[in-house]
A = this chain, B = another copy of it.
Amino acid sequence: MSVKNLPDQKCQSCDKCPYCEICLPGKSPTSSDLSALNNIIDKRRGLNKGEILYKAGDPLQRLYAIKSGSLKIYSLSQAGDEQITGFSISGEIVGFDAIFEKKHKSFAQALENTAICEIDYAQLSRALYRHQEMNMRFMRLMSQEISVKKELLMMISRETAPQRLASFLLHLSEAQERRNLSPDQIKLTMTRYEIGNCISLSVETISRLFSRLHDAGIITVRGRYITILDQTMLRDVKNGNLCQAAKSENTP
């Protein structure tokens, strides 16, 4: 591979790390929390595209905070094919589902070149009960993940194919906005197959829906580059008000 590895390096100090407030969002940590953070965050590490961060069954040694890039989180079915349960982007922490049995329950793979912080789990668990603020942050992050998974469940259960894809795009759009990027210019880091797998649709359906949204003038599609032309209409699609099918010609 001609892709050069991002350099591994020890984090100097979390208060100087520009990603720290991303990893642990909210109020700035107290100084005692900060020194604890410096101890438990081992080092910065670079992942090449396609590299696997952890596998289901691996003993839990670290959690990981994503500084930049993105990961896909997936499990394997009994038949051996993958089921994506979500995509994680910068600012998120992955691996929480490993805490229960002290071994990873999912796979995490880099969708692009990605930078992460390794969080030593043994040190973390010792530190948490001494630092209430940090403790609560981690509880909140886990709580949030539970909510997000319930929302995904709800989306797959209740929404039609066009609604799901619209929801998916709007999620990406909102994520960009939170990071102060344009909410309308989206660079997909995952394949059509991976999108479909995550929201429970076939590749062909994803492709057809992109075309349909394009034809309706709602988005522009150029490979992995999506431009949202009309946020309002996209929201209408999400709400099931539009673009249910291309056969609205006959509606009197």
A64, chain B: closest CB distance, angstroms: 15
Q: Are A156 and B154 in contact (CB under 8 A)?
A: no
Partner of A142, one of B143, B156, B157: B143
Q: Is A78 an interface residue (CB 8 A)?
A: yes
Q: Which chain B residues border A150 with CB–CB below 8 Å?
A: 75, 85, 97, 105-106, 149
Pick the 5 closest A-B CB pairs, nearest first: A99-B143, A100-B143, A149-B149, A157-B200, A100-B144
Q: Interface residues, chain A, CB within 8 Å of chain B?
A: 75, 77-78, 83, 85, 96-100, 105-106, 125-126, 128-132, 135-136, 138-147, 149-150, 152-154, 156-158, 197, 200, 239
Q: How far is the CA of A219 from the CA of B77 in the complex (A)?
A: 26
A217, chain B: closest CB distance, angstroms: 24
Among A77, A130, A157, the one with the most B-chain Cβ atoms within 10 Å of its Cβ is A157
Q: How far is the CA of A103 from the CA of B193 in the complex (A)?
A: 36
Q: How far is the CA of A131 from the CA of B99 in the complex (A)?
A: 17
Q: Are A147 and B83 in contact (CB under 8 A)?
A: no
Shortest Cβ distance from A198 into B: residue: B157
A142, chain B: closest CB distance, angstroms: 4
Contacts known (A85-B150, A125-B136, A129-B131); A96 close to B156, Cβ less than 8 A: no
Q: How far is the CA of A131 from the CA of B135 in the complex (A)?
A: 12
Q: Are A146 and B239 in contact (CB under 8 A)?
A: no
Q: Are B99 and A154 in contact (CB under 8 A)?
A: no
Q: With A83-B153, A128-B139 given, can you name 19 additional A-B contacts, CB distance below 8 Å?
A: A77-B158, A85-B150, A85-B153, A96-B146, A97-B146, A99-B139, A99-B140, A99-B143, A100-B141, A100-B147, A106-B150, A125-B132, A125-B135, A125-B136, A129-B129, A135-B135, A139-B142, A149-B149, A157-B197
